[in-house]
Structure 1
Amino acid sequence: MRSKLLTVAIAAGLGVTSFSALAATSKSPQQPTRVTIDAATLQQLQAQLAALQAQVSDLQAKQEAQADAQVETAKAVNDVQVAATKPTEDLSKKLDALNKIVDNTKIGGTMFFDATNQDHKEATGVNSPIKKDGHGSTNGTGFDVKRFYLTVDHKFNDIWSANLTTDFSYQSSISSTSLFVKKAYVQGKFDPLFTVRFGAADMPWIPFVEKWYGYRYVENTITDRSFEGGRSGGTATAGGVGAFGNSSDWGVHALGATTGDNSVNYQVSVVNGRGYRNLSRSKSVDTEARFGYSPIEQMVIAVGGYSGKRGNETEGGAPTRTATRGDALVAWRDSTWGAGVEYFHSTNWDDILKYAGTGPGVGAAAGTTKDKADGYSAWADWHFYDQWAVFARYDNLDYKYNNLLQVEEKIKDKYYNAGVSYDVLKNLKLALVYKHNKLDGPVATPYHYKTNEVGFWGMLTF
């Protein structure tokens, strides 16, 4: 554009000069015009033209240089913008990766706590009951955190995920708190009817019953509730009488379920046999299974079973038996009512090892001990108003075993509780509860105890 303007200016200048020269040489308006330019004038015009051309060339050079400079500046600005954008993009990618981890990871916890007063009395033979600390009970008032579970659940994709759950509890045997890994597994969910877990995970029976029961924070279910006392008398004590199952164990677990009316659920676990607190190795593995059917969504009918050495079959160890347990459950739960009955029968749960003694018998049968147990638990609850509910439960357990003299000893345990619960928040429950437990020991070495406990129990989840 500037070149065209300069050209026009030059042409206009030349035209003015020519017009002046023409006017100067005119003699008369009526005579024909004849333009004559002498050599000096022509030379002067050529010099002016050359000067103007030089100026045009100079301006063109400056314009081209300015254009080049603008291109370089634009390139530099673009490079700066790209350089500035790259860290932002890298940061954005890192933030996206972090968001993905956060979105696919859930952290939660569950705490069982209580503040209660306990009254425990024991009697031996025909003696009168007296207050005495023992058999897992301590007289007085106190605050306890029975369990604290911290859970991390991460989802890799629509199929694979992982779970880590720690278990904090107080161990009366060592008078100290302990921290365990209760669950640590990798899960592959390939279909609603087929999920597999590798590692320490929920067992088929106890956690399943807990969901239908609904008051685990008040008391363990009957197969998971230890009763103290039990066996007595030298080598006849095979670890004492405790829980008749594990809530979690190390192994491979396959499970699945459908939903709604006419739904089914199942789980089969092949495990070490000593529970999540004891990651041991033995010559054989144990198996526990469950199958459930819900004719309607609010009801379940389930059966289950356990078989194995409970991790006691070791190379060069004592001869063993197989511990077995059969289970049954019928339960109902809707938004207002809950009720259920659980039953189990076990054999050799404590007497897996074939202890040898001096009692009557021949060969390996001489002086060995055996045990069996039958127990049932019935419970009900009613949500009568908003967050308020009343509940009650009754357990009955008959435990029998042969001592070293092949005399059958009997232990009978009765337990019940009743209370009222209040949902303070969606994730905070409190219950005012009364508990009673009575145990009558074997006739040969008679002992009896009963425990009354009253106070508040609670559960906090997040």
Structure 2
Amino acid sequence: MRSKLIAVAIAAGLGVTSFTVAAAPAQHKTHKSQATAQNNAVVNSEVELLKAQLAQLQAKVDSLEQRTDAQSDINVSTGQAVEKATSVTAASDKQLAKLEKLVNDTSISGKMYFDFSNISQKNSDTGKTNASGTGVDVKRFYFSVNHQFDDIWSANLTTDFNYVSNDGETNLFVKKAYVQAKFNQAAVFRVGSADMPWIPFVENYYGFRYVEPTITDRNHFANSADWGLHLGGDIGASKSLNYAVSVVNGNGYKNPSRSKNVDVEGRVGFVPFEGMVVAVGGYTGDRGQEMQNVSAVHTAQRGDVLVAYSSKAFRLGGEYFTAKNWNNVLSPLTDKADGYSFWGSVNVADNISLFARYDNAKLSKDQDRSAKDTYYNAGVQYQVNKGFQLALVYKHEKGDKSVNTPIPPHVQNVKTDEVGIFGQVAF
């Protein structure tokens, strides 16, 4: 279109020139024919020159149009490419934002208990047992993934691995798997396999779980986790009261099967000042043993008391439990058990602390009054770093249990001494 306008303008100019020549006054025709011929020649020459210039100009205009059209195509392609790149970048940014949120809202943690020790175990009747020897044990390795959906809802999965060298046991299983709703500090609700109210609470004040489980745990009078509904929290601005209650299957976290009825465990704690706690707890149920076609004869019951103090300088505490028919749910016989545990530790230098513990439990007060367990340990712990502790430990256990053969009944005495390096790694 632009070339046509330019051509019309030039043609109009040529027409004006011709018109001017044709309209010259008549008296100029009287000039000599030679002058007229010369003028015509000049005009013709100028016309030819203008035509040539017009042709050159037309060629330049055509070339310019081609370049303009080509540039327009490039601009269109460039615009489409930029638009596409912008769209891809926006999508990538959205995916990156989702990935960043997932990473920020998900945490991974782990904890490992291990030891390298020598065990000497003697049976009063048969001598040394196969539990004796030197070896490495990885008693626990917890791996946890926690995801926070929002300010209230989250989920947790914790696997548990353990290996014990003296019996070749290797297991990998789920310890905790729950969905949590934290409405506020006083109301934290969990569905699934989660911490029970008592054992983890005591472990928090004890502080040396990697050396030895607490008394109810090591004597199998409680579960540290179970499948069910769990509610707990801290009450008051100073958190002077705390509570926890669990309605569970009763078989423990290794056995999620259901029973005819559910079991209940609860705890209430009073914190008079920071670091100090006085807590009571209890358990009642059939421990998951009553099925649709299997009737429970007795209800298993347990009561707990804890008085403890924990600070950076030292720890001091005591735990007592009493149980009724814990191992006699399906038996017509009745039985009772109880026990107590005292522990303490003190920091004697930077990253170095001394600790000791003493347990005494009567495992069967009605059916086997000779069934007792006495345990104590002592050691020194070195804090390698925030998540790594090593301890040189000596342990002693004396277990007595009455047996019916040979007659008359006599006491079977098993003594165990262990010395070694125990460690905990947490991240």
The TM-score normalised by the length of structure 2 is 0.84
- 8 Å contact from structure 1 (residues 260, 297) kept in 2: no
Secondary structure of 1:277's match?
A: coil
Question: Which residue among 179, 183, 189 is the counterpart of 1:186?
Answer: 179
Secondary structure of 1:102's match?
A: helix
Partner of 2:211: 218
- 8 Å contact from structure 1 (residues 10, 49) kept in 2: no
Secondary structure of 1:446's match?
A: strand
C-alpha RMSD of the superposition: 3.7
**What amino acid does structure 2 have at the position aligned with 1:161?**
S
Mapped pair 1:296 → 2:273: yes
Q: Displacement, 1:162?
A: 1.2
Distance of 2:283 and 2:276 partners within structure 1: 24
Which stretches in structure 2 are left out of the alignment for 5+ residues?
A: 19-37, 404-408
- 8 Å contact from structure 1 (residues 440, 448) kept in 2: yes
Q: Displacement, 1:440?
A: 2.9
Mapped pair 1:312 → 2:272: no
Question: Which residue among 190, 210, 229 is the counterpart of 1:197?
Answer: 190
CA offsets per residue over residues 104-160 of structure 1, 9 Å max, x none? 222222111111112222225xxxxx63217xxx12222111111111112222222
Q: Displacement, 1:54?
A: 6.5
Distance of 2:423 and 2:263 partners within structure 1: 34
Distance of 1:327 and 1:350 partners within structure 2: 17
Distance of 1:8 and 1:317 partners within structure 2: 111
**What amino acid does structure 2 have at the position aligned with 1:457?**
F
Aligned residues: 408
Secondary structure of 1:441's match?
A: strand
Secondary structure of 2:326's match?
A: coil
Partner of 1:419: 379
Mapped pair 1:265 → 2:242: yes
- 8 Å contact from structure 1 (residues 152, 164) kept in 2: yes
Mapped pair 1:163 → 2:156: yes
Secondary structure of 2:298's match?
A: coil
Question: Which residue among 338, 356, 363 is the counterpart of 1:374?
Answer: 338
Q: Flag the 1:328–1:131 CA change in 2: closer, same or farther, 3 A.
A: same
Counterparts of 1:115-194 in structure 2, within 5 Å, are: 115-123=116-124, 131-133=127-129, 138-170=131-163, 175-194=168-187
- 8 Å contact from structure 1 (residues 369, 401) kept in 2: no
Q: Flag the 1:259–1:388 CA change in 2: closer, same or farther, 3 A.
A: farther
Q: Flag the 1:252–1:121 CA change in 2: closer, same or farther, 3 A.
A: same
Mapped pair 1:453 → 2:418: yes
Partner of 1:246: 223
Counterparts of 1:93-132 in structure 2, within 5 Å, are: 93-123=94-124, 131-132=127-128
Distance of 1:190 and 1:290 partners within structure 2: 20
Mapped pair 1:398 → 2:375: no
Distance of 2:46 and 2:123 partners within structure 1: 137
**What amino acid does structure 1 have at the position aligned with 2:129?**
D
Distance of 2:254 and 2:88 partners within structure 1: 48
Q: Displacement, 1:163?
A: 1.1
**What amino acid does structure 1 have at the position aligned with 2:260?**
K
After TM superposition, the structure 1 stretch with the greater mean CA deviation from structure 2, 201-210 or 174-183, is 174-183
Q: Displacement, 1:199?
A: 0.8
Partner of 2:80: 79
Distance of 1:319 and 1:201 partners within structure 2: 25
**What amino acid does structure 2 have at the position aligned with 1:399?**
L
Partner of 1:384: 348
Distance of 1:318 and 1:268 partners within structure 2: 25
The TM-score normalised by the length of structure 1 is 0.78
Seq. identity, %: 47
Counterparts of 1:319-338 in structure 2, within 5 Å, are: 319-338=296-315
Distance of 1:262 and 1:91 partners within structure 2: 45
- 8 Å contact from structure 1 (residues 273, 309) kept in 2: yes
